Amino acid sequence: MGKHILVIGSLNMDLSITMERMPAVGETVMGEELTYNLGGKGANQAYAVGRLGGQVKMLGCVGRDQFGAGQRESLAACGVDVSGLRESEALPTGTAVIYVDAAGSNSIVVVAGANQACDTQYLKENDHLFQWCDYVLMQMEIPMSAIAYAAGRARALGKTVILNPAPAPDLIPAELLSCVDYLTPNETELMKLSGVTGDGMEAVRQGAKALMEQGLGRVVVTLGEEGALLADGDGFRTYPARKAEAVDTTAAGDCFNGAFVVALAEGMSEDEAIRFANAASSMAVTKKGAQSSIPSREELEQILGGAKARQSAGGGR
């Protein structure tokens, strides 16, 4: 059995609209399909952890509505303990509107709703979960003050903190970064947070180096079809992605983060964990939706070689 994982973050209902191409500013285009899918980066990552076999509990807030009830049911069905979720009487469950073009690229607009109620006081009331867990996984769709408190509390208790800085703020406070063990931005988020300009792997390396100079120990950058990069005190290592035909990239990063923490919790090395996460996210992009696109552990192990999944994902430094 792996170690315990606490996911703290957002829960949304995703309204996904497919179209041939994204509209320019001021332009109207015709959509092709409208679908409703359970999402939110926190819920997506908790769902991924559960689907992939992790021992996981979640803290977050929903409204007293059908979307919130749907989140509870969906997460519980894949093994996530949702008994700690908060229900807001005043605010509706968060909503995200996702635009997906013919190439599978997406743009997302989020209305926070009840996610705003995931505050410091609520986290303090659930301190027993911080003590229970070994890993804390967070994103940035809840109040910054709550994220900072959670990271600080987890660090004080000796837990491993993984922060997925999405959506990326203009600045992450130094005191928060000092409590993070793994920062997991995508390339766009990396450039915004680091202030580095340019493109290509050299720019990615410079961006990761700039963030590490702010006090981070490790930066794991997700690079889409290019795979991932790990930056730490030993330098940089890259991990090629498994080839896949992308249909919808909506939850690929969330799937990567969930898979990454599951692998670490099971005792895999960083190299193994990143390869495991790369494989999981490569499967997520082949299906539409957020949570509905995340593979099960059985499906992932088939890709990785059945019972020899861990060995296939390894290879050392």
SS (H, E, C) 114-149: HHHHCCHHHHHHCHHHHHHCCEEEECCCCCHHHHHH
Is position 254 annotated as part of the catalytic site?
yes
The CA distance from 225 to 216, in Å, is: 25
> 91: Cβ–Cβ under 8 A, 6 or more apart, which residues?
61, 63, 113, 114, 116, 117
The CA distance from 146 to 162, in Å, is: 15
Q: 51 in helix, strand or coil?
A: helix
The CA distance from 311 to 110, in Å, is: 39
Bridge partner list, 311: none
Q: Are 225 and 245 in contact (CB under 8 A)?
A: no
Q: Among residues 14, 181, 248, 254, which one is catalytic?
A: 254
> How far is CA 143 from its chain centroid?
16
Q: Are 246 and 284 in contact (CB under 8 A)?
A: no
Indicate which residues carry an active-site annotation: 254
